[in-house]
Every structure is written in C-alpha cells, then in structure tokens.
C-alpha cells in the first residue's frame, strides 16, 4: 500500500459471526470428525468464500444439487434453510441429513406454514433467488408472493385483501423493510405478521452498530462476500449515510487509492465473515488508533442437533 495510513479505525460492534453461522460451521466440523470424509454440503454452508474454502480443505464437498450426492452419503443443509421439496428428495435418495438451518430461519418456515394453513396469502419481503427466500417460498409456494421493493409493494395484488400476512427474509435492511411494510399496511389494513420480527437480531445489531460508525468515518470497509445478503446490506447502509463503502473478502482487496485523504476508516463484517479477517484488515491499514464502537452485546447461542452433539 502506498497511500498514507489513516489515523483512526472505528470498529463497529457487534460484527462478524452470528450464532446461526457458528452453529452451521460447527455442524460441518463435527460431521467431518465423527463421520469422516467426505461430508457433502448442499450450497455454501454460509455465504463466505473463506469459510467454504477452509471446510473444503478439511474434507467438505460443496454441491449445488442433491443429485450430486451419492445415495446413502451424509449431506448438510446450509444455514439458509431448504424447501420441503429438498427434504423429500433427500429422503428419496436415502441421504443422511444434518440440518444446519439457522433456528431463526426455521421459525420463519413455521410461520409460513401457519399463515398458509389459516388461508392467508403470504407476502414474503425478500430478494429473489436468495437461498433463504427459495426455502421459505417452498413452504407454501401456491400461497406466497415475493415482494422485493417498495415499487412491488405498491402493485402486488392478492386474492382476498382481508386474508393476507407478511414475512421477511432474516437479513434485510431494517429501514428499507420498514418502508415496504408501511406501503403494504396502507394497502392492506388487515395485514397480519409474525409475533416478533423476522429480521434477525444479528442483522439488526450489525446495522445499528454501523450506522453510528458510518456517520463518523470517511470510508467504510465491510468484510464479507458478494453473495452475503447481510454484508451487502451493510455496504448499502453506509452509502445511504453518505459514506463511501466497499465490500471486501479480505485485506488483499483493499486498494491503496481508497485511502487517499482518508483519516477515519469504519470497519465491520457481515454475520458470515470470520473475525480473524477483520483483524487482518485492521493490520493492513497500518499503525492506526483503533476505537471500538459497541451498540449491543450478543450472548445468543444455538444448540447443535443431537446427532452431532458431543456426548
């Protein structure tokens, strides 16, 4: 790096791994230890290139479809969850399934089943093509309509406006979702929703922590991979606050010209990015004063499935 080092790094906290990601990675690790190689994983276990590469080195085999898994083999479902159709296919192929779906995603699936069972049309706020959305849609495909943005919230139609519920992807931007929900509530006064927010604690906490940091920084670096929804939302949040922000997989992605005239760098990491990568990014910024800005303390943990829990 040739640009002069910035003076200050503001570290947003909480940042990096959430409880759902830690649990998912642990499930693959335990499976490798207890069942030996190979352990197949359907889709990326979490959306991070470093996590996936590390597990691959240790014997995990990532596949896009269950058809790539030999009959009878062990397969792990990723933290983003799967549709019932995928579970059925796994059963048909006699696969030994370990389910690493985050419990907070499982909660959304249960809500989808409940809302559909009472005859509601479900408006699912989320991003088309994201694995979590595909899984949730699969719970009630005939009764669920995806709403991706405010424009769609204004135009979506439902068979019976008095029987309509909403759900959200867990990793959305809190402020954008509030806006979409505002439109839906104005159009569907009978709209019902989950008892508690579907946008998860980890997403909310990371966004809140970065809000204050972004206001004070000349530049924000978000450690995370391009397909990580909550990491991309962090970049957008900083940009909406008027601060230049970049998504980086690791310190090697930092371009020297980004640091021209920059005195204060805000640093955070999406929920699927390993904490060690943040340390490497801070180290790469040179001799700096590091200040942590914490807005919440997280003590949530999720238990492992009994089939891999060490005795």
Q: Does residue 94 have a known ligand-binding role?
A: no
Identify which of 272, 172, 174 has the alpha carbon closest to the alpha carbon of residue 225.
272
142 phi-psi bin (left φ>0, alpha ψ -120 to 50, beta other): alpha
Supply the minimum distance, in Å, between the C-beta of residue 163 and ligand SF4. 27
Q: How far is the CB of 62 from ligand SF4 (least distance, A)?
A: 17
Structure tokens at 108: 């959304």
User: Tokens representing 291?
Assistant: 């200040």
Q: Check the annotation: does 289 bind a ligand.
A: no
* Structure tokens given for 98: 């370990």
How far apart CA 110 and CA 105 sit, in angstroms, is 9
230 is in an annotated binding site: yes
What's the rounded Cα separation, in Å, for the pair 125 and 148?
A: 6
Site for ligand SF4 in 171-190 (CB under 6 A): 171
Flag whether 130 is marked binding: yes
Place of tokens 């230049």: 244
d(CA 17, CA 270): 7
Residue nearest to ligand SF4 according to CB distances in the complex: 20
Q: Are the CB atoms for 128 and 146 separated by under 8 Å?
A: yes
**Footprint of ligand SF4 on 272-291 (CB under 6 A):** none
Among 13, 200, 245, 254, binds ligand SF4 (CB under 6 A): 200
Residue carrying structure tokens 């919230």: 153
In the window 124-163, what residues touch ligand SF4 (CB under 6 A)? none
Q: Specify the residue for token string 């997989």.
A: 249
**What is the DSSP secondary structure assignment for residue 63, as one 8-state letter?**
E
> For the chain, what is the radius of gyration of the CA atoms?
21
Interaction between residue 237 and ligand SF4 (CB under 6 A):
no
* 224 lies in the binding site for ligand SF4 (CB under 6 A): no
- Cα 128 to Cα 36: distance, rounded to the nearest angstrom: 36
Of the listed pieces 19-27, 33-41, 58-66, 287-295, which binds ligand SF4 according to CB under 6 A?
19-27
> 11 to each of 67, 133, 209, 265, 273, how far by Cα in Å?
43, 31, 9, 8, 14
Please identify which of the residues 131, 132, 134, 139 carries the catalytic annotation. 132
Does residue number 20 form part of the binding site for ligand SF4 (CB under 6 A)? yes
Which residues ranging from 99 to 128 are in contact with ligand SF4 (CB under 6 A)?
102, 104-105
Annotated active-site residue 176? The verdict is no
Q: Judged by CB under 6 A, does residue 202 bind ligand SF4?
A: yes
Part in contact with ligand SF4 (CB under 6 A); list of ranges 31-39, 50-58, 180-188, 197-205: 197-205
Q: Which of 78, 165, 170, 225 binds ligand SF4 (CB under 6 A)?
A: 170
**Contacts to ligand SF4 by CB under 6 A:** 18-21, 79, 102, 104-105, 170-171, 200, 202-203, 230, 271
Annotated catalytic sites, by residue? 132
Annotated binding residues for dimethylallyl diphosphate, as ranges? 47, 80, 130, 228-230, 272
Annotated binding residues, as ranges? 18, 47, 80, 102, 130, 170, 200, 228-230, 272
Annotated binding residues for isopentenyl diphosphate, as ranges? 47, 80, 130, 228-230, 272
């Amino acid at each position: 790096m040739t640009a002069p080092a910035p003076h200050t790094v503001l570290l947003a906290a909480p940042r990096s791994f959430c409880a759902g990601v830690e649990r998912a990675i642990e499930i693959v690790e335990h499976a490798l230890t207890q069942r030996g190689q190979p352990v197949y994983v359907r889709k990326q276990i979490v959306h991070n290139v470093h996590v996936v590469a590390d597990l691959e080195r240790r014997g995990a085999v990532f596949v896009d479809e269950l058809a790539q898994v030999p009959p009878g083999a062990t397969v792990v479902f990723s933290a983003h969850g799967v549709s019932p159709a995928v579970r059925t296919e796994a059963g048909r192929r006699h696969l030994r399934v370990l389910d690493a779906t985050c419990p907070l995603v499982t909660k959304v699936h249960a809500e989808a089943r409940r809302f559909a069972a009472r005859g509601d049309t479900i408006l699912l706020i989320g991003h088309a093509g994201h694995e979590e959305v595909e899984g949730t849609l699969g719970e009630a495909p005939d009764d669920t309509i995806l709403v991706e943005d405010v424009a769609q919230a204004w135009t979506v139609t439902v068979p019976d406006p008095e029987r309509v519920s909403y759900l959200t992807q867990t990793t959305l931007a809190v402020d954008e979702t509030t806006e979409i929900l505002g439109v839906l509530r104005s159009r569907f006064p009978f709209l019902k929703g989950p008892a508690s927010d579907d946008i998860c604690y980890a997403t909310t906490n990371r966004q809140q922590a970065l809000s204050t940091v972004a206001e004070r920084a000349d530049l924000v670096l978000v450690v995370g991979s391009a397909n990580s929804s909550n990491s991309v939302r962090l970049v957008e949040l900083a940009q909406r606050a008027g601060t230049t922000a970049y998504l980086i997989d690791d310190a090697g992605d930092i371009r020297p010209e980004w640091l021209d005239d920059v005195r204060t760098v805000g640093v955070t990491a999406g929920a699927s990015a390993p904490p060690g990568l943040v340390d490497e990014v801070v180290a790469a910024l040179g001799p700096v004063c590091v200040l942590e800005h914490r807005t919440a303390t997280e003590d949530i943990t999720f238990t492992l499935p009994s089939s891999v829990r060490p005795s």
